[in-house]
Amino acid sequence: MPHRDLTRLLGRCLAFDLDPSDLHRLRTQLLSSPDLWQELTDFATHEALVHALERRLHARGLLPSQFLPGEAAAFAPDGQLRTAAAALSKRREVLGEQLREIIKPLNRIGIQPIILKGARSLLTGEPDWRYLRDFDLLIPDQADAAFAEFVA
């Protein structure tokens, strides 16, 4: 599927509001091809939206595995999507632990950093699909002390 079409499909999957006819068309399209699941999962992973995609499709009852009994669900075409979303959840868990390990020594010396953007989502859990590559911390008027704590 061309990139533009994948972008459009991902947008439809993540849309906040779909009327029943759009939902039916989306379900029909998603169930039309196991290859489409692979392409959509790869694209959503590349765009750092795989967890959001999995959550939205699950909430709408659009995952084939939701309709299959027991072990058969493990072989549904959305299996890679579920696996990729679980990997992001695990990554966020590890990053959250690392962030807390950065905050501890700062708190020990009386610095309470302001946690911003994606780093904040690690501590609050919302949104749980947020992807991040770094931690944004604001340390007003105490940057030198914070820096010294980590290089000492």
Q: What is the pLDDT of residue 67?
A: 79
Q: How many helices (H) and strands (E) does the chain have?
A: 7, 2
Phi, psi of 133 (to 5 degrees): -115, -15
Q: What is the pLDDT of residue 33?
A: 81
Q: How many CA atoms lie within 13 A of 28 on its CB side?
A: 6
DSSP 87-117: HHHHHHHHHHHHHHHHHHHHHHTT--PEEEH
The 10 Å Cβ neighbour count of residue 146 is 16
Per-residue pLDDT of the chain (152 residues; tens, 9 = 90+): 778 899 999 999 999 888 888 999 999 998 888 789 889 999 999 998 999 999 999 999 888 888 787 777 777 788 888 888 888 889 999 999 999 999 999 999 999 999 999 899 999 988 888 888 899 999 988 989 998 988 86
Q: What is the pLDDT of residue 139?
A: 92
State pTM to two decimals: 0.74
Q: What is the pLDDT of residue 80?
A: 84
Q: Are 117 and 132 in contact (CB under 8 A)?
A: yes
Phi, psi of 115 (to 5 degrees): -90, 125
d(CA 136, CA 133): 10
Q: What is the pLDDT of residue 120?
A: 93
> Smallest Cα–Cα separation from 128: which of 71, 90, 97?
90
